[in-house]
Amino acid sequence: MTGPGASAVPDGPITFRALGPDDLPMLGSWLAEPHVHRWWHHDTSPEAVERDFGPAMRGEEPAEDLVAEVGGTPVGLLQRCRWYDYPEYVAELAPIYEVPPGAVTIDYLVGRPEHTGRGLGPRILAAAVDAVWKRYRDAPAIVVPVVATNRASWRALERVGFRRVAFGDLPPDNPADPPLSYVHRLDRPG
């Protein structure tokens, strides 16, 4: 978006911090944005946001939900976890791709529509990749399935070095989507 009312992407480095209780209203508003809701397809009521994100926030499950910030301004969400901490997802993916032991997956969103289409997604992903290698020092790869119709997401992954390694049917988050998904992988450097 350009012109009057457009909001520039804040300047500064991309950093991540743990999602906290005070962030849930902001996250709920992001999940309600049409460009996010289309792909994340969550109930955006305060109770549902707490139900869906509270357990990881409180350390009751192994996934991490992180607020992505640019120069201290919240701009999005990053989720990351080891695949094998969620064996049901490994089994779901197994017919089309064998996830290597120790591999991590990520998911992300850019919260405000005026921040989309400005290269922020690939910047968040590049910072997320660096953070994964530091946090999960033994992770051999990052493996990310993306519904095939979410072209912006899989193109952003490719821009930061992920390569498509498989495709096939997976249950989509949004029932409006066909099940075809692409699986992307990025190996730990050298």
pLDDT at 6: 47
pLDDT of residue 151 exceeding 80: yes
pLDDT at 33: 97
Contact, 136 vs 100, CB < 8 A?
Answer: no
User: Counting Cβ atoms within 10 Å, is residue 15 exposed (0-12), middle (13-18) or buried (19+)?
Assistant: middle
pLDDT of residue 1 exceeding 80: no
Flag whether the pTM goes above 0.85.
yes
pLDDT of residue 67 exceeding 90: yes
In whole angstroms, give the CA distance from residue 110 to residue 116: 7
In whole angstroms, give the CA distance from residue 93 to residue 4: 45
pLDDT of residue 68 exceeding 80: yes
Tens digits of residue pLDDT in 91-145: 999 999 999 999 999 999 999 999 998 889 999 999 999 999 999 999 999 999 9
pLDDT of residue 176 exceeding 70: yes
- Token pair recorded at residue 81: 């976890």
pLDDT at 9: 74
pLDDT at 7: 60
Comparing 1 with 161, the larger pLDDT belongs to 161
pLDDT of residue 14 exceeding 50: yes
Report CA-CA distances (Å) from 131 to 13, 17, 160, 161, 188.
13, 11, 14, 15, 12
pLDDT of residue 56 exceeding 70: yes
